[in-house]
A and B are shown apart, each in its own frame.
Chain A
């Protein structure tokens, strides 16, 4: 090519005015997004004018968003198996409705949080703090609403291209899943810790929710890529089953499978205080049947892993059929377990009688600790006396003990996520070939995966940067290896791995898709796991 530069250049740039015409289809293609966002803003403004009692609550709006996402997901899925323009259109408009209600719910919470403190402060003649104090980024529920919105918005923006409409079939159910999980966290509005009252908060958390949303879409694309690339659904089933097995094994601190509490699952107990609020105590009440359901699901999934491994490794067709049957059975037992858990968390009344007496001693130690007794002193008290103290507490406070949906948000979320994973695999294994042929070309999916992965990477980088600047302005250090920081950093590194695997020899294609999937798992771990499982600065959200 060395002679290329020797070419005589006739003209470098013709002197012509650039054509000023705009593509007419641009606005129409963004119309759903504009309508959803604009409508939500309008609704929030109406809420500012109207009084709270006569206005639709944020909780109701969230349920509407959930319903819309689910409806949209059904239309999108139907469209994959039986393509029809009507389904496409209905799916797109239902998704638009979902994004509208989702954002409206979030915005209405902003107004509600403001109104809540308004009465306290103005009664005492104080001046009202700025409105950004109330922006709903105060707890995980708020963040989940924004996260689901980010995913919905990214889907709407991508799905205006008909060839990418398949995306909604996966990303919208995931957005719905996030809303369901949020439901288990409880939507009460919390007081903002004062150190968080900074203008960096909306910037930082806003970046978080949008980039998490894009990460979710990238995950969905990566799964679709693997599906299109011919990864066997049975191989996928092995991975989701292993995930589910890990969940089943660890819920309730390994209680379902540990010999002493074999086959039982306990939910954390709360005590009602005089103020009507629940205070959690370190005691679990056995929820009948649920432990056995989890055990049975685990057993069936172990069977799934075994049979599908035989099929994938040795091509055993019989093992494949057995595996599919076990997979279906396990979906049934998992649904039964989750539904029965949800129903009983709401309805169980005789909580005191469900507490296994083995926990009394630990409870006794906790009670002493709450009374301010020193650790050494508690250690010197015998287990028998601690157990008596615990038993007495359970007896006297028995009627005040209760369970609710927010008892174990992470465990319930993990159980539901495991179920969702199994359901998706079941769905993919239904007429897989037809599904594969309905998907766009591998090249197209790959380019979408690269785009979303790149944006997720850039978004997470901005998340880390804004977090670091905020931390430096508030605490005087820009990086402290706090668990949430580190979690986001690990997710970012993994997206970095995804981007570089694409240009590394021999690692393009599937291996880079695996990076995109693992990166999203880290995002989820950062978003949920860190808050509940690890200590640190971000433990509130």
Chain B
């Protein structure tokens, strides 16, 4: 704000005030847009907008409905009208970023020609007075044959101090100029190119990206994604159809404490096995926590799960009712079957974590493993079938079904592998991510390049003082890391002295 008015007042008061006043509005606008001060003001405005977004809860944050309900009507009207509930997607927020990008580009164009002179027109000489005014300077007297040989000695010392020297002559004076890291002057521009690359990637993501959720129950196939957006406190679900089908073949949950619940905090990893049917092509894949799977530009992530207790497999201890017959132990996977020695087939059809009979129908009272039971179908070799429920030996509620023999067998639930009822994968299509990643790589490299290196320059004038004596005036500067430069300069002076 203030920069705008200040810049303008300065124009009016400046020496070329009259000329400036007649400048077209466009020129003045360009001058403003390309000034670093305007850029700093924009940074502050952007930061302020972000802080507002942090302090006022945003629509996509969990608990927004509760927060929204607690606001007064006038607050809702004001915040809503100004778009503060979704400030990061408001038109003015995008406008700030756009103007900032413009400022970066224009200001870079403005400054670049001057920077380029560090390469195109290297400053090869300097006046003695100017050298003595540098942050590092020194004067030595050396004995030698001629100015040129002394200059070469200084150049050699520069070389050993890892500065690239050039010796020149002008108006009868001999100059040594040495520098290193001139490319560092370009670093700032590279940083800004990297930033603009990231902005571009972000724009691509916002325009062409999709993120949705997909519920996967073992055995089921789906090609629908649910995308959630928010209209204030009302979530809006939209459905997106994938160009292929996803079948869930298995879900698994690695628990920290196998005796505990299938809660997130007790879980080390979630595993979802899927089969993608894309026309005639089938692809098997495994999606794990923090190990997403990529297919045709879509990424599958573990997002959440339905925490109703189920079993991925059950281990049954089967005891024939007939006395003396040996017991058997079989492990059956979800929706799988096992055949006993006598040819009897057991199908594992369903699992109830907290078994209860509601009428004649089996059901679960809660999602927790309070009274686990496996629903089984038993088929005798004769073709006779029966339905049975297997409970653990320690079944809490010893109802009428516990321990009862079915089809000539007593079946107990010896063990089972816990898992949730379904996994929810997050599916993302993000054409901007690779551009953003490219920007990240560029930004990391360029920032390291900018801040860990510097453009260091040293000049020396060699002047004869008679009787084979030569005075050398040395001076130098660095665009950053002055302390390191001072060290190098001192070392350089020492090397020159030692060489005599």
A481 touches B88 (CB 8 A): yes
A504 touches B40 (CB 8 A): yes
- Bound CA–CA A506/B40 (angstroms): 12
Q: Count residues of A near B (Cβ-Cβ below 8 Å).
A: 75
Which residue of B60, B258, B301, B495 contacts A124 across the interface (Cβ within 8 Å)?
B258
Q: Please report the C-alpha to C-alpha distance between residue A505 and residue B480 in the assembled complex, in whole angstroms.
A: 18
Q: How far is the CB of A364 from chain B (nearest CB, A)?
A: 18
| CB-based nearest A residue for B481 | A451
Write out, one digit per residue, whether chain A residues 448-480 have a CB within 8 A of any chain B CB (1) or not (0): 101100110110011001001100111111111
Cβ-defined contact, B426 with A129, below 8 A? no
Chain B: CB-nearest residue to A500: B40
Closest to A477 in B: B211
CB under 8 Å from chain A, chain B span 46-82: 46-47, 50-51, 53-55, 57-58, 60-63
Assess whether B159 is in contact with A18, with CB atoms less than 8 Å apart: yes
Contact (A487, B54) CB under 8 Å given A7-B170, A454-B451, A479-B202: yes
Q: Mark B253-280, 1 if CB is under 8 A from A, else 0.
A: 0001111000011011110000000000
Known A4-B124, A9-B166, A536-B61; judge A475-B426 contact (CB<8 A).
Answer: yes
Q: How far is the CB of A6 from chain B (nearest CB, A)?
A: 9
Most A-side CB within 10 Å, residue of B58, B270, B487:
B58
B437 at the interface (CB under 8 A from A): yes
Q: Is A490 located at the chain interface by the 8 A CB criterion?
A: yes
Instruction: Name which residue of chain A comes closest to B206, CB basis.
Output: A479
Q: A19-B495, A530-B54 are in contact. Are A14 and B152 (CB under 8 A)?
A: yes
Contact with B along A163-203 (1 / 0, CB 8 A): 00000000000000000000000000001011101100000
* A23 to B265 alpha-carbon distance, docked (Å): 53
Please tell me which stretch of A107-115, A224-232, A242-250, A491-499 contacts chain B, meaning at least 4 of its Cβ atoms lie within 8 angstroms of it.
A491-499
**A465 contacts B51, C-beta separation under 8 Å:** no
Q: Smallest CB–CB gap between B148 and chain A, Å?
A: 7
Q: Is the CB of B53 within 8 A of A193?
A: no
A194-B269, A497-B40 given as contacts; is B122 within 8 A of A4 (CB)?
yes
Q: Is the CB of A534 within 8 A of B433?
A: no
The reply to whether B301 and A468 contact each other, CB–CB distance below 8 Å, is no
Q: Give the complex CA separation of A121 and B125 in angstroms.
A: 72
Q: Which chain A positions have C-beta within 8 A of B124?
A: 4-5, 7
Q: Are B257 and A120 in contact (CB under 8 A)?
A: yes
Is B436 on the interface with A (CB-CB < 8 A)?
yes
What are the interface flags for B164-198 relative to A under an 8 Å C-beta threshold, 1 for contact and 0 otherwise?
11111110000100000000000000000000000
Contact partners of B63 in chain A: CB under 8 A:
535
Q: Which of B113-141 contact A (CB under 8 A)?
A: 121-125, 135
Q: What residue of chain B has the Cβ atom nearest to residue A443's Cβ?
A: B135
Choose among A1, A10, A161, A493 the residue that contacts B169 (Cβ–Cβ < 8 A). Answer: A10
User: Is B401 interfacial (CB 8 A cutoff)?
Assistant: no
Nearest-CB distance from A107 to chain B (Å)?
23
- CB pair A13 B159 closer than 8 Å: yes
- Interface of chain A residues 1 through 53 with chain B (CB within 8 A): 1-5, 7-14, 16, 18-19, 23
**Interface membership of chain B positions 21-63, coded 1 if the CB is closer than 8 angstroms to chain A and 0 otherwise:** 0000000000000011101100110110011011101101111
* Nearest-Cβ distance from residue A130 to partner chain B, whole angstroms: 11
Asked if residues A486 and B447 are in contact (CB atoms below 8 Å), the reply is no
Q: Which residues of B contact A12 (CB under 8 A)?
A: 166
B110 to chain A, nearest CB (A): 12
CA distance A12 to B158 in the complex (A): 12
Given contacts A4-B125, A490-B51, contact A197 B268 (CB under 8 A): yes
B482, closest chain A residue (CB)? A447
Q: Is residue A131 contacting chain B, with contact meaning CB distance below 8 A?
A: no
Give bound CA distance, A506 to B51, whole Å. 27
| Interface status of B99 (Cβ within 8 A of chain A) | no
Which single residue of chain B is at the shortest CB-CB distance from A190? B265
A465–chain B nearest beta-carbon distance, Å: 5
Question: Which residues 412-446 of B have a CB within 8 angstroms of A?
Answer: 426-428, 430, 433, 436-437, 440, 443-444
Q: Smallest CB-CB separation from B255: which chain A residue?
A: A126
Chain B residues with CB below 8 A from A198, complex form: 290
A450 touches B169 (CB 8 A): no
Chain B residue, CB-CB nearest to A455: B451
Interface check A430, CB cutoff 8 A: no
Which among A13, A121, A506 is the interface contact of B165 at CB below 8 angstroms? A13
Task: Specify which chain B residues have a CB less than 8 angstroms from the CB of A479 in the assembled complex.
Answer: 202
Q: How far is the CA of A465 from the CA of B164 in the complex (A)?
A: 35
Docked CA distance A23–B169 (Å)? 33
Q: How far is the CA of A493 from the CA of B53 in the complex (A)?
A: 15
Question: Which of B155, B451, B481 has the most A CB atoms < 10 Å from its CB?
Answer: B451
Q: Which residues of A contact B302 (CB under 8 A)?
A: 195
Does A381 interact with chain B (Cβ within 8 Å)? no
Residue of A9, A161, A483 touching B54 (CB-CB under 8 A) = A483
In chain A, what residue has the closest Cβ to B51? Answer: A490
* Contact pattern, B 270-304, Cβ under 8 Å of A = 1, otherwise 0: 10000000000000000001101000000101110
With contacts A120-B257, A461-B443, A462-B444 known, is A161 near B168, CB below 8 A?
Answer: no
Residues of B within 8 A of A5 (CB): 121-122, 124
Determine the distance from Cα of A82 to Cα of B472 in the docked complex, in whole angstroms.
40
Interface check A507, CB cutoff 8 A: yes
Q: Please give me the residue from chain A that is nearest to B451 by CB atom.
A: A454
Asked if A535 and B256 sit within 8 Å, CB to CB, the answer is no
Given contacts A7-B168, A478-B433, contact A461 B447 (CB under 8 A): yes
CB of B483 within 8 A of chain A?
A: yes
Within the assembled complex, what's the spacing in Å between the Cα atoms of A4 and B54? 55
> Does A129 contact B268, Cβ atoms closer than 8 Å?
yes
Q: Give the docked Cα–Cα distance between A89 and B282 (Å).
A: 71
B2 to chain A, nearest CB (A): 11
Quick check: is A117 within 8 A (CB to CB) of the other chain?
Answer: yes
User: In the complex, which residue of chain B has the Cβ closest to the Cβ of A489?
Assistant: B50
For A483, list chain B residues within 8 Å (CB): 54
CB distance from A474 to the nearest CB of B (A): 5
B289 near A195 with CB under 8 A, answer yes
Contact between B159 and A14, CB atoms less than 8 A apart: yes
Across-interface contacts of B428 in A (CB, < 8 A): 476-477
Measured between beta carbons, the chain A residues less than 8 angstroms from B495 are: 19
| A313 at interface by CB-CB < 8 Å | no
Q: How far is the CA of A161 from the CA of B483 in the complex (A)?
A: 10
Residues of B within 8 A of A11 (CB): 152, 155, 165-167
Task: Judge whether A497 and B43 touch: CB under 8 Å.
Answer: yes
A471 to B170 Cα, complex, angstroms: 60
- B423–chain A nearest beta-carbon distance, Å: 13
Contact of A7 among B40, B169, B299 (CB under 8 A): B169
Task: Give the one of A124, A457, A478, A522 with max B CB within 10 A.
Answer: A478
- Cα A196 to Cα B444 in complex, Å, equals 23
A119 to chain B, nearest CB (A): 11
The smallest beta-carbon distance between A442 and chain B, in angstroms, is 13
B444→A19 contact, CB < 8 A: no
A129 CA to B254 CA, complexed, in Å: 11
* Interchain CB contact under 8 A, B36 and A503: yes
Complex contact A469–B39 (CB within 8 A): no
CB distance from A443 to the nearest CB of B (A): 8
B491: Cβ under 8 A from any A Cβ? yes
A501 CB-CB contact with B under 8 Å: yes
A402 to B121, CA, bound (A): 75
**Can you add 10 more A-B contacts, CB < 8 Å, to A5-B122, A10-B167, A451-B481?**
A5-B121, A19-B160, A19-B161, A19-B495, A194-B289, A195-B290, A447-B483, A493-B50, A500-B40, A530-B54
Interface residues of chain B, those whose CB is within 8 Å of chain A, are: 35-37, 39-40, 43-44, 46-47, 50-51, 53-55, 57-58, 60-63, 88, 121-125, 135, 148, 151-152, 155-156, 159-162, 164-170, 175, 202, 205, 211, 256-259, 264-265, 267-270, 289-290, 292, 299, 301-303, 426-428, 430, 433, 436-437, 440, 443-444, 447-448, 450-451, 480-483, 487, 491, 495
- What are 14 inter-chain pairs, A to B, with CB distance below 8 A? A7-B169, A13-B159, A120-B256, A197-B269, A443-B135, A448-B483, A454-B480, A458-B451, A474-B301, A477-B428, A493-B50, A500-B36, A504-B37, A530-B54
4 closest cross-chain pairs (CB), A and B: A19-B160, A476-B428, A7-B168, A458-B447
